[in-house]
Structure 1
C-alpha cells in the first residue's frame, strides 16, 4: 500500500515538474517565440492607409472597409482631401485591380449628422485578383485597434530574429528590445521589377517586447 502511494506521488510530482518546466520555457526569451509573435506585425508592414473622404449612402450599411464610396465634388478639408488616394484608386482601376462605379444617390460625409443630399458618388471595390493588396488592416488608434482600408505593396515576412536584450523590469513590466530582419514577398503585379527587388531585400528593425501571461508580445506603438 505504501509503495503504491509512493509511486503515485512520484508520477504526480514528475508531471507537475514537467508542466512547470514547460511553462517556464514558453516564457523564456527565444528566437522562435519572438519570430512567431512578430509574424502578424510584419505581415502588414508594407501596407498604407487609403485616406479618402468617405461617404455613407442613405439606407445602405456603412463601414470602414471596402468598397470605398466618395464624392468627386468633395471640397472639405480632412483625410484624403488632397486627392492622392483617389488618383491611386483610379490608377488601379485602369489596370483592372479595382472596379470603379459612378452613380447618384442621397449621401453624406461619413461621421456627420447632416441631412442626406442626392449627389454624384464614386465607389471603389477591389477585384478578386487585388484582394491581397487592397484589404483592411488593424491599426492602433487612441484607445483601441481599428480596421483601416489599406493598399499593400507586398506581404511582409520575418527573415530572422537577430538579437534581443536581456529582459529588464520597466514600470512593472518585463521588457526586451528585439532586433529582427524582414522583407516583402508576393508584391503587387503592377510593381516595376526594380521596386520588387528593393522590397525583397532584408531590412532591419527593432521593437520592444513585453512578457505577458501567454508569452512575449510586441509593444504596439
Structure 2
C-alpha cells in the first residue's frame, strides 16, 4: 500500500503541471508524503478508537497495557447487561490521553496504530528520468532517510517489551541503506 502511495506521489511529481524531475522535487514530494504518514506499528487489531474489549479478552493486551502504563491511553471499566437475561459482561474502554492523541490513530485494515516517529528524507541518491509505463509517468528514485521526532515514550520499558517492532525499527535506522521505489 505504501509503495503504491509513494509511486502515485512520484507520478504526481512528474506529471500534471510537468514539474521537472530533480532531486529537490523528488525530495519535496517524498517528504510531503512521509509527513502525512508517520512511522507506526499496530497496537490493536480489529478495533476502533476508543478501544473496547471484554475484560477477559487478552488479545493485544500487552501493547494496550503498555500504552496505559506510558500514559498514552486511559482505561475505564464498565459492565453491560445483554438482552434476554444473559449474564452481564465486564468491559474495558481505552481512550487516548492528551499525550496519546498524537500517537494513537485509526490504522489501515481495521486496526489501531501507535505512531512514534516520522521519516525525514536525508538525500536523493539517484533517479531516472520520467518515462511512460502503461500510460503513467514513472521514475525510479533511490533515497536515504532517517527518523526524526522520535516520541520520548519509546524508551518506556513496558513499551519496549510489549511492542518490540518499535525497538527493532529504532535499533536499525533506515538511513543506513537506500530504499528504492518504482
Q: For the superposition of Structure 1 and Structure 2, which TM-score range results when normalised by the shorter chain? A: 0.5 to 0.7
Q: Partner of 1:206: helix, strand, or coil?
A: strand
Structure 1 segments of 4 or more deviating over 6 A? none
How many pairs does the alignment contain?
A: 150
Separation of aligned partners in 2, 1:124 and 1:40 = 31
Q: TM-score, normalised by structure 1?
A: 0.56
Match of 2:22 in 1: 30
**More relative contact order in 1 or in 2 (CA 8 Å, sep 6+)?**
2
CA change 1:197–1:89 in 2 (3 A) is closer
Separation of aligned partners in 2, 1:106 and 1:184 = 47
Which runs of 5 or more residues in structure 2 are unaligned?
1-16, 157-166
CA change 1:117–1:45 in 2 (3 A) is farther
Q: Deviations over 1:20-63 (max 9, x none)?
A: xxx44x2x212222222212432435212333343xxxxxxxxx
Which runs of 5 or more residues in structure 1 are unaligned?
1-22, 55-63, 75-81, 108-115, 142-146, 209-221
Separation of aligned partners in 1, 2:91 and 2:32 = 35
Q: TM-score, normalised by structure 2?
A: 0.66
Which structure: larger Rg? 1
Q: CA RMSD in A?
A: 3.1
Contact 2:38–2:116 (8 Å) recurs in 1: no
Is 1:42 the counterpart of 2:38 in the alignment?
no
Contact 1:133–1:154 (8 Å) recurs in 2: no
Match of 1:135 in 2: 105
Alpha-carbon offset, residue 162 of structure 1: 1.7
**1 or 2, which has the higher helix percentage?**
2
